[in-house]
Amino acid sequence: MVPFHVAYTLGRRQRVGELLPWLPALAGSLGFGIGGTYLSASVTPWFLLLFLPPVLFYRGLFRLLFDLAVRPTKPVELTVDEFTLWVRTGDERRTLPLAGIIQVFRTDDGWTVLHRDNSTLLVPAGVLTDAQLDYLKAFPRRALAERRAVERAP
């Protein structure tokens, strides 16, 4: 497979999936915030300081929520060569080895690529050709074949 480069844009609806890993933190922060509000209203306003720890500990979550509220779209550039997958979104650039791809599967409005380092990449349907998808799917298939070969070995 020849290396390829694609550029696409993700809308808010597609980017909401980025919140899934943050759901436990979001639920805990919501409960913590309700408790802090109740204590500050009924006991003393000093309990408003309890709002600082979630903002400090989960700044990535709050950065994502702010980004979802402010930017309606997010441009993404995806570059794949023989061994590496580069993902560039704005200022952020990630390098992922292709051998670390765990799964490539179809979702409602696109393709999801799961990586061993807990990265998730959403690619809208129609952006990748069948040959490009087969190339990305070949890495988890090859890893599965290698694991099965090791399991069968005496």
Cβ atoms of 131 and 1 within 8 Å: the answer is yes
Q: Clarify whether residues 86 and 115 are in a common domain.
A: yes
Q: How confident is the model at residue 26 (pLDDT cuts 50, 70, 90)?
A: confident
4-11 and 73-80 strand pairing: antiparallel
The domain of 62 spans 17-70
* Cα radius of gyration rounded to whole Å, the chain: 21
Indicate if 23 and 65 belong to the same structural domain.
yes
Single pTM value for the model? 0.71
Q: How many other β-carbons are positioned within 10 Å of the β-carbon of residue 6?
A: 15
Give the pLDDT of residue 1.
63
- Report d(CA 97, CA 62) in Å as an integer: 28
| 34 and 96 housed in the same domain | no
Q: How many domains does the chain have?
A: 2
In a shared domain, residues 102 and 80: yes
pLDDT computed for residue 95 by the predictor: 93
Residue 141 and residue 81 share a domain: yes
